[in-house]
Chain A
Amino acid sequence: MTELTEVGLEMWRILLDSSPYIIIGIVVAGCIKVFINQNFISRHLRHGRYRSVIKASLFGIPLPL
């Protein structure tokens, strides 16, 4: 029981530490999702044998999931 409460306490501690950053993360991610639409990305993934690869990887960095 004491060990389980320890697990719970640790979870709570990590949640507290990460929450403000998660909120920043999902706000920015949401705005990216709205401002950059899929067609825009798709247009850049069609042309160029290696250019498209670099662009695809760059697009993928900020996008969530």
Chain B
Amino acid sequence: MLPAAASFKKQGANKGALASFLVSTPESGVDSIAITYALLDPIMTVARPLAAFITGITAGILENTVSWKSSAELDSPTPVSAAAAGDTSEDQEPLMTRIIHGLRYGFREIWADIALWFFVGLFLAGLITVYMPESLSQMILGGGIVAMLAMLLMGMPIYICATASTPIAAAFLLKGASPGAVLVFLLVGPATNMTSLSVLIRILGKMGTIRYLIVIAVVSILFGLGLDGVYHYLDIEARAVISEVRETIPYWLKLGSAVILIMLFLHHLLDQFRLRQLKRRKNQFIADFPALDSSLKTKQGKSQIPVFVQSDTKTKAQKE
């Protein structure tokens, strides 16, 4: 997501559009929408991308209202030829090969990106369901501004991708956290974290990053409070709705998909392991050269020193 934004910036995208893209991309995606439908409920499935969309627009509009250079559009470099070239080469591929490329990309790259985080998310969800006392989560996360702030504090510094945060959210919901508080976690967790801060500052600038963070915090909390209002108005308990979707899919399909995902993940791990070994071997190979070199040098040095001394003594002797 961040490399994409950086390349958009290079291609002349304005700061507001970048801020907007940097909010809505991590907060929502087809994969996280699908898993939200699986583990949470239909209201959450709609609320998540909607909140991401509105938060993105708010951040972007604020950014472009505050820091808009009227000449930005004229000054921006427009690599039209590169863009056009890229398009035509993409268009020439037949539909079937493109779909196959897409499937391969999805199963290999996207799942490889998500998988580790997802299993960490599963583990945390397991820990929460087993160890978190219900009274505690109801007291702190049960609703209201305190619950929203608590989730904000938890979600802002950590990184967890939108898909991986969903099982954690489900666990919180089952422990009696309010849907609004859970939404705040789902929005803020993926959108902000410590490690991406330096990249954000490079793309949006210091003030831009501060505005970005404030907008995410404020809009997320407003959406959290609003969502609690919706559940209250409809008189639905989020916990009750959760398990409804789960029963609609036959067991063999669930088991089959789980096995496929695990196999793909193991395959990816093996690939990574092999790659690392290959790199290590290469490094050894390269590292051997300086070692050989230095040993040669020292040998030469050693052999040179007596020669110099000899020559010195010779010259001294000749002089004398």
Q: Give the residues in chain A near B286, CB-CB below 8 Å.
A: none
Given contacts A25-B35, A46-B78, contact A53 B258 (CB under 8 A): no
Chain A 26-37 per-residue mask, 1 if CB under 8 angstroms from chain B, else 0: 111111111101
Q: Give the residues in chain B near A10, CB-CB below 8 Å.
A: 125-126, 129-130, 171
Q: Give the residues in chain A near B212, CB-CB below 8 Å.
A: none
Q: Any chain A CB within 8 A of the CB of B57?
A: yes
**A30–B110 CB distance below 8 A:** yes
**B8–A41 CB distance below 8 A:** yes
Q: Give the residues in chain A near B148, CB-CB below 8 Å.
A: none
Shortest B297–chain A CB gap in Å is: 49
**A20–B249 CB distance below 8 A:** yes
Which B residues from 236 to 286 make CB contacts under 8 A with A?
246, 249, 251, 253-255, 257-258, 260-261
Q: Which bucket holds chain B's interface residue count?
A: 35 or more
**B163–A22 CB distance below 8 A:** yes
**A46–B14 CB distance below 8 A:** yes
Select from chain A the residue with minimum beta-carbon distance to B106: A30
Select one of B12, B33, B57, B170 contacting A25, CB under 8 A. Answer: B33
Shortest B252–chain A CB gap in Å is: 11
**A33–B90 CB distance below 8 A:** no
A3 to B35, CA, bound (A): 26
Q: Give the residues in chain A near B23, CB-CB below 8 Å.
A: 57, 60
Q: Any chain A CB within 8 A of the CB of B116?
A: no
Which A residues from 1 to 29 make CB contacts under 8 A with B?
3, 6-8, 10-11, 14-29
Q: Any chain A CB within 8 A of the CB of B31?
A: yes
Residues of B within 8 A of A (CB): 1, 4, 7-8, 11-14, 16-35, 37-39, 49, 52-53, 56-57, 60-61, 63-64, 68, 73, 76, 78, 82-83, 86-87, 90, 98-99, 101-107, 109-111, 113-114, 118, 122-123, 125-127, 129-131, 161-163, 166-167, 170-171, 246, 249, 251, 253-255, 257-258, 260-261
Residues of A within 8 A of B (CB): 3, 6-8, 10-11, 14-35, 37-43, 45-47, 49-50, 52-65
